[in-house]
Amino acid sequence: MTTSSPSGIIAPGAIAPDFTLAAGPDSTISLSDYRGQAVVLVFYPADWSPTCGDQVGVYSEMVTVFETFNAKVLGISVDGTWCHKAFVEARRILFPLLADFEPKGDVARQYGVYRPQNGISERAIIIVDAAGIVRWSYLSPIGVNPGADGIVKALEALTPEQRGTAG
């Protein structure tokens, strides 16, 4: 059972639901593939919206900063793999975008960030530690790019064990 905050988003301290999603037409990624290191899950509404493009672009530019905390970034939206492929190529995104496409929004629902009225995910960021525990979750207004400051502060707050590093 997952625990959610008053806004519905999965709350810190909950066990992050494992998932396997398409990372491309012929590949999948599971959250459990990253056990032993921190993961930044970036849920966003749609590849080609201006706010989403800016947000994902910022995180792509910051991949090396996140990696200093032993953290990997995974983007998740309800867009399909071919849409993601075109978006990654056009925006030169340096981390995987996963298709929460069918059943639509299933993973977003598990994390409490699906918007059934629009058929998209909320704009949300969830940090999962090396042991698979949610350590930070943030729900942004749908039209606002939350930037990276909150992510960096949350990663800084993780212990070396939570990051999956020795020190």
User: For tokens 């509404």, what's the residue?
Assistant: 45
As a whole number of angstroms, the longest Cα–Cα distance in the chain is 45
Question: Count H helices, E strands: the chain?
Answer: 6, 9
Pairing of strands 120-121, 38-43: unpaired
Q: SS3 of 123, please?
A: strand
Q: Is 83 a catalytic residue?
A: no
- 28: β partners: 22
- Of residues 38, 39, 42, 52, which has the active-site annotation? 52
Task: Supply the residues annotated as catalytic.
Answer: 52
